[in-house]
Amino acid sequence: MNLSIEPVSEAHFAGLHAALDTVAREKRFLAFTQAPPVEQAFDFYRSIIANGGCQMLALRDGRVAGWCDVLPSHGQARSHVGILGIGLVPSARHLGIGAKLMQATIAAAWAKGMTRIELTVRADNTNAKALYERLGFEVEGLLRRAFRVDGEYFDSYSMALLRHDSMTMIESSL
């Protein structure tokens, strides 16, 4: 099985949309419980490319097996902050692909000048939380009843990763 990690491109929009829909419909991980309509999703992917955003795909034998993005937050005062999302289709999990995909996407976000990456993970998603912690993310808070799926509430953790040299930059400016 040949694995490659590469930036999203138009040729993979359909595969990305299908992967998102598969993970969303599991209803255990994401805020979406199904993917947005195709045209809306494709416009969104195009806007990410047009704005130089960080969205990477994991391709197994050329087919989309997952995605990871670090998307900008709104407001000038938060222009250093990106919001991370990730998902792999079930057959691509527990193979080390998530870590590789995240590392490539985080490196791209740092290269764009971001110095803080935030994410939200459901408290019962222990697999994802363990991966985030392995990569240096720290829990900053518990968000109570942050998700509701089929009438059931789930807490989530707010986590963040700071670019290693960001503290140095802040300290040297004091």
Ligand X SMILES: CC(C)(COP(=O)(O)OP(=O)(O)OC[C@H]1O[C@@H](n2cnc3c(N)ncnc32)[C@H](O)[C@@H]1OP(=O)(O)O)[C@@H](O)C(=O)NCCC(=O)NCCS
**From candidates 19, 56, 86, 106, binder to ligand X by CB under 6 A:** 86
Instruction: Tell whether residue 125 is a contact of ligand X (CB under 6 A).
Output: yes
**From candidates 128, 137, 147, 157, binder to ligand X by CB under 6 A:** 128
For the CB of residue 89, give the shortest distance to ligand X in the complex, in Å.
8
**From candidates 5, 48, 59, 95, binder to ligand X by CB under 6 A:** 95
Instruction: Tell whether residue 29 is a contact of ligand X (CB under 6 A).
Output: yes
**From candidates 24, 54, 81, 97, binder to ligand X by CB under 6 A:** 97
Name the residue nearer to ligand X (CB basis): 125 or 168: 125
| Nearest Cα residue to 163 out of 82, 53, 71, 75 | 82
Residue nearest to ligand X (CB): 98
Name the residue nearer to ligand X (CB basis): 110 or 137: 137
**From candidates 99, 107, 149, 167, binder to ligand X by CB under 6 A:** 99
